[in-house]
């Protein structure tokens, strides 16, 4: 009748080169593993979407992408810039320490896409960027510890 689950949290001291720190292991439950795998799958799915469905047409100057950017008045420079940002975000989604920052950055890009869709194109495809913001926000939130680790690494280098 009642389901009980035990979560295991282990603390260990790790020494790596000149660093010594405490590592807290994540939940070892099957549910935790499935959640991490699902999140990783979502990251891969979004990375593939941004790289191939969104960035690639812009970077190869597909006629449909070129027409849209010409209609906006941004021309090829804007098209290549947005394509490069999307490709960089797609790659960064796959790098654990960068995934949270990439999700936030792509989310900001989607806010810009939403505003552009509403102001320039009358809201014709405005739902698409809004839909993409939701999984990006989930990734940014779930990987927030990775962003803290990145911040620590950057401060250590400075």
Interacting residues of 32 by C-beta distance below 8 A, sequence separation 6+: 7, 26
pLDDT: is 9 or 89 the higher one? 89
Query: What is the per-residue pLDDT for 2?
Result: 41
Residues 7-47 have pLDDT tens digits of: 444 444 444 444 444 444 455 699 999 999 999 999 999 99
At 109, is the pLDDT very low, low, confident or very high (cuts 50, 70, 90)?
A: very high
Interacting residues of 48 by C-beta distance below 8 A, sequence separation 6+: 90
Which of the residue ranges 16-20, 86-90, 123-127, 138-142 would you say has the lowest mean pLDDT? 16-20
pTM of the model: 0.80
Strand partners, 14: 21
Q: What DSSP letter does each residue of the chain carry, written as one string?
A: ----------EEEEEETTEEEEEEPPP-SHHHHHHHHHHHHHHHHHHHIIIIIIIHHHHTT-HHHHHHHHHHT-HHHHHHHHHHHHHHHHHHHTSGGGHHHHHHHHHHHHHHHHHHHHHTTTTTTTHHHHHHHHHHHHHHHHTHHHHHHHHHHHHHH-
Cβ neighbours of 6 (radius 10 Å): 7
Strand partners, 20: 15
Mean pLDDT score, 99-113: 97
């Amino acid at each position: 009748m009642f389901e009980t689950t035990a979560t295991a949290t282990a603390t260990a001291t790790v020494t790596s080169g000149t660093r010594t720190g405490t590592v807290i292991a994540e939940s070892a439950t099957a549910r935790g593993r499935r959640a991490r795998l699902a999140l990783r799958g979502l990251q891969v799915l979004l990375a593939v979407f941004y790289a191939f469905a969104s960035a690639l047409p812009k970077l190869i100057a597909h006629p449909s992408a070129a027409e849209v950017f010409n209609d906006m008045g941004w021309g090829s420079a804007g098209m290549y810039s947005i394509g490069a940002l999307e490709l960089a975000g797609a790659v960064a989604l796959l790098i654990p320490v960068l995934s949270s920052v990439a999700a936030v950055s792509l989310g900001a890009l989607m806010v810009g896409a939403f505003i552009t869709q509403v102001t320039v194109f009358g809201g014709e495809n405005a739902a698409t960027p809004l839909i993409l913001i939701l999984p990006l926000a989930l990734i940014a939130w779930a990987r927030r510890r990775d962003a803290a680790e990145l911040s620590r690494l950057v401060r250590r280098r400075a």
